[in-house]
Amino acid sequence: MFKKSLILSTALFVALASVAEAQDRYGNRPPVVVSPDLTAPWVMQLGVQAAPGVYRKRQPQAVAPQRRTATRNMRVREPMRQLPGVFARPQAQPVAMVRPQKPAARQIDPQFLPQTVAYDTNEKTGTIVIDTNNRFLYLVTGKGEARRYGVGVGKPGFEWAGSHKITRKAEWPTWRPPSEMIAREAAKGHYLPASMEGGPANPLGARAMYLGSTLYRIHGTNAPWSIGYAVSSGCIRMRNEDVVDLYERVPVGTKVVVI
């Protein structure tokens, strides 16, 4: 009986001691405090309660920029370069900095510049011979020589050959396209004027020499890069400086042979 009472007393003592220890451990636990500022970190405090705003994020203070003097040992940071790849983005350039690209002007072949060449022909001195296949105009000067110029000739379907005389000469001539040309160009969507006064924009250029009673002429051009090509509607075109030179060398009545 005594032994049983001792066991019960011991168990009761242990239970009371456990309760006391639990009360001592958890009874005085400080409350959890969460910062009222939602922009600050959520901090669980197990010690003394912190005042509101302790964890408020500090606002950065404006600092006046300091001028740095470049020195010999200072390393210059290079701009980051983006490697080409699937996600690579092209570098944009401000519109104001983009310069329009002008089309490259076609340079005339030096062989088409005026020059004196050996030329064997039965034509008399002063005769003009036009070789449409090779795009050359020869002014026979005699003694087996001729002054040669580069020319533009009729495009496919507009070639012709024959012999005529210069019947009229004109400086900065007015261009009056024939009705056939106007209709032909209108079918392509190009509408030509009934006439155009002489000037730098005029297709006949600075000078014109009319051949017989035909619609063909030896004339200048507003497209000097076309010299050496078959591009005209049958007329023989020259650079403006070249047609002026030829114009001063030949009179009305000069024989012109087109081959």
CATH number at residue 204: 2.40.440.10
Task: Let me know if residue 254 belongs to a domain.
Answer: yes
Q: Going by C-beta distance under 8 Å and a sequence separation of 6 or more, which residues neighbour residue 184?
A: none
Q: Is the CB of residue 51 less than 8 Å from the CB of residue 36?
A: no
> How many other C-beta atoms can be found within 10 angstroms of the C-beta atom of residue 1?
5
In-domain check, residue 135: yes
Give tens-digit pLDDT for 180-200: 888 988 998 888 888 899 999
Q: Is residue 184 part of a domain?
A: yes
Q: Does residue 7 lie in a domain region?
A: no
Q: Does residue 47 fall inside a structural domain?
A: no
Query: Left if phi > 0, otherwise alpha if psi is -120 to 50, otherwise beta: which for 160?
Result: beta
The total of structural domains in the chain comes to: 1
Q: How far apart are alpha carbons 145 and 128 in whole angstroms?
A: 12
Q: Say whether pLDDT at 206 is over 70.
A: yes
Model confidence pLDDT, tens digit, residues 90-132: 454 443 333 444 445 568 899 999 999 999 999 999 999 999 9
pLDDT per residue as tens digits for the range 212-225 = 999 999 999 999 99
Average pLDDT, the chain: 77
- Inform me whether the pLDDT recorded for 48 exceeds 60: no
Q: Which residues are catalytic?
A: 219, 235
In a domain, 247, yes or no: yes
Domain assignment of residue 234, given as a range: 110-258
Q: Is residue 253 part of a domain?
A: yes
Terminal alpha carbon distance of the chain: 152
Residue 29's pLDDT is what?
Answer: 55
Looking at the domain assignment, is residue 222 inside a domain?
yes
